[in-house]
Structure 1
Amino acid sequence: MDVNMDTSEALILPQKKFYRQRAHSNPIADHCIDYPISPKHMNWDKYYTNIKEKKVEFADIGCGYGGLLITLSPMFPDTLMLGMEIRVKVSDYVMDRIAALREQKPGEYQNVACIRTNAMKYLPNYFEKGQLKKIFFLYPDPHFKKAKHKWRIINKTLLAEYAYVVAEGGIIYTVTDVKDLHEWMVMHFEEHPLFKRITEEELKSDPVVEKLFASSEEGQKVTRNHGDKFLAVFRRIADPFIS
């Protein structure tokens, strides 16, 4: 049973075995995905109730089965959070899971939603400049072969997009069980002028950090296999070239 659900939830939530799909998807391939031509063309009312003037502030990129979203929802009840997942069946599961939780617990989980999309291609189509306060990359596909490193969710080009959609002071969290990928992500973030790594001492006061390791299905799998987990967190800083 998912560690993020109690017994009553387990009785009515959709079952993952009916939503299983390949663990990885080619982010470069052309997928049949509907996406807005710009953030102002995105209709968020279909995903959140009573949205009014609110905007999405947390984005879980490659959200998997939605464990982190469900964990953070009651911690930040006034913050809109979005899971972005490229796999069809997996995103369907998260949508159905959220719908089931909303029905079971009226008034709760209204601040989380999931869409099927390719964040590597369309992230700026959903979010305005400086809109996001937190982005999460939990156990992203390592793309082990050197020829496929360009498919990694953290690279020079995409970091420019993340710097665009994240507000100054906003946080990007990365967790992986692959040391090589961890070092790759750290290297690229540290080379970028708009990101600064947050020290371990600073992270002790961040309530989100302890939820990153086991809230997702992948994190639970790593725990069961007694694998390593590598964390690196970065803050979006002001542009040093603009006075």
Structure 2
Amino acid sequence: MAKRKRTQQGDVQQQPTQRLLPQKKHYRQRAHANPFSDHALQYPESPEAIDWDLHYPAFSASGRTPAFADVGCGFGGLLIALAPLFPDTLMLGMEIRVQVTQYVEDRIAALRTTSALSTPSAPGQYQNVSVVRANAMKFLPNYFQKHSLTAIFFLFPDPHFKSRKHKARIISPTLLAEYAYALRPGGVVYTITDVRDLHEWMKSHLDAFPLFESVDEETLRAEGKGPILDAVYTSTEEGKKVERNGGDKWLACFRRVEVARDP
């Protein structure tokens, strides 16, 4: 809860740093977007064409590129949760909805500012996260070089319940080839949903794809990935809503395997 102070007139006001944070009520947007619709998108010709210094100015000239990709990042809950835990890891959220992308961008800017105000001698936190408006189903290879990612997240994606809409699901054999291309061997795909049918769909397609192998939660926690898993479960708006409603969450994680002739 935001800290508050009482003025001489008796009014209660938020601290100035808290007032910088954007409010979702000012960023109205549909819950989902059709990835096959024509969207007015600007995208780079290749990953080499991206000036990452604009996204991560505190890492300027470091040569680093994003290692975590949150596909369909929504309001940025996962990025914000992981940023302080992995301060040296660059993370990129990809969101197709205009207002939601703008909210995440404004949220990151505000958090950078408030963090810098609290520690004037340092750049502050959240310098390692950014967001782009992009259709990951079409343009993901335009953003990530081969084997550049260590983690890809698909958290509570649109279930597209109708059978004729299944082709719009974010996990499919064609798209898995692109995810395998961007993910380095040993990297992990994290999926979670509150829809069991979608969980089985994603799991079955990942199981059938030769470049991924299932890895259980216990193994990942033993490897030190517990903080990531905790954020996957609890940091997103959808995840919090499922908790409030007492629903189930279905987790499936897969590791990128290395083969003799890797694509």
Following superposition, which runs of at least 4 residues in structure 1 exceed 4 angstroms of deviation? 6-10
Query: How do 1:222-241 and structure 2 match up within 5 A?
Result: 222-239=242-259
Give the stretch that moved more between structures: 130-139 or 207-216: 207-216
Query: How do 1:83-98 and structure 2 match up within 5 A?
Result: 83-98=93-108
Give the stretch that moved more between structures: 6-15 or 210-219: 6-15
Change (3 A) 1:12 1:129: same
Residue 177 of structure 1 aligns with an amino acid whose one-letter code is D
Residue 157 of structure 2 corresponds to 140
Query: How do 1:95-110 and structure 2 match up within 5 A?
Result: 95-106=105-116, 107-110=124-127
> What is the alpha-carbon distance in structure 2 between the residues aligned to residue 145 and residue 88 of structure 1?
25
Shift of 1:239: 1.9
Contact 1:193/1:239 (8 A) holds in 2: no
> What is the alpha-carbon distance in structure 1 between the residues aligned to residue 233 and residue 241 of structure 2?
10
> What is the alpha-carbon distance in structure 1 between the residues aligned to residue 254 and residue 211 of structure 2?
10
The one of 168, 172, 189 equivalent to 2:185 is 168
Residue 40 of structure 1 corresponds to 48
Return the TM-score normalized by structure 1: 0.94
Identical-pair percentage: 57
Where do 5+ consecutive residues of structure 1 fail to align? none
The one of 66, 74, 80 equivalent to 1:64 is 74
Secondary structure at 2:234's aligned position in 1? Answer: coil
Residue 114 of structure 1 aligns with an amino acid whose one-letter code is V
Residue 130 of structure 1 corresponds to 147
Contact 1:193/1:240 (8 A) holds in 2: no
Residue 217 of structure 1 corresponds to 237
Secondary structure at 2:43's aligned position in 1? Answer: coil
Shift of 1:11: 3.6
1:182 and 2:192 matched: no
1:12 and 2:23 matched: no
Give the stretch that moved more between structures: 162-171 or 48-57: 48-57
> What is the alpha-carbon distance in structure 2 between the residues aligned to residue 43 and residue 150 of structure 1?
33
